Amino acid sequence: MATIRSLFWFALFLACTFAFTVLFEHGPSDFQNNAKKEYDYLSQMVGAKPQKKKDESDKIGGGK
């Protein structure tokens, strides 16, 4: 019984960590679509090298 309880708490910890990551990365608006994006990104990490889309905020120096 203790093993089942430990597995439950570990699964709950993983779910809460995932939810926190989605909220921290994307904010509270449109949580469902952002969670799908993060899940797809994590799936890519497990299978192959992830390719995250670049945008203007990823550039260093803000120059040319």
Q: What is the pLDDT along the chain (64 residues), one digit of tens a residue?
A: 899 999 999 999 999 999 999 999 999 899 999 999 999 988 888 876 656 777 766 677 655 5
pLDDT given at position 14: 96
The residues, ordered by sequence, that sit 6+ positions from 39 with a Cβ below 8 Å of its Cβ are: 18
Q: Which of 24, 22, 52, 50 is nearest to 35 (CA)?
A: 22
Residue 7 tokens read as 């597995």
**Cβ-contact 60, 51 below 8 angstroms:** no
pLDDT given at position 61: 66
pTM, full prediction: 0.66
Determine the 3-state secondary structure of 3 from DSSP. Answer: helix
pLDDT given at position 22: 94
Determine the 3-state secondary structure of 32 from DSSP. Answer: helix
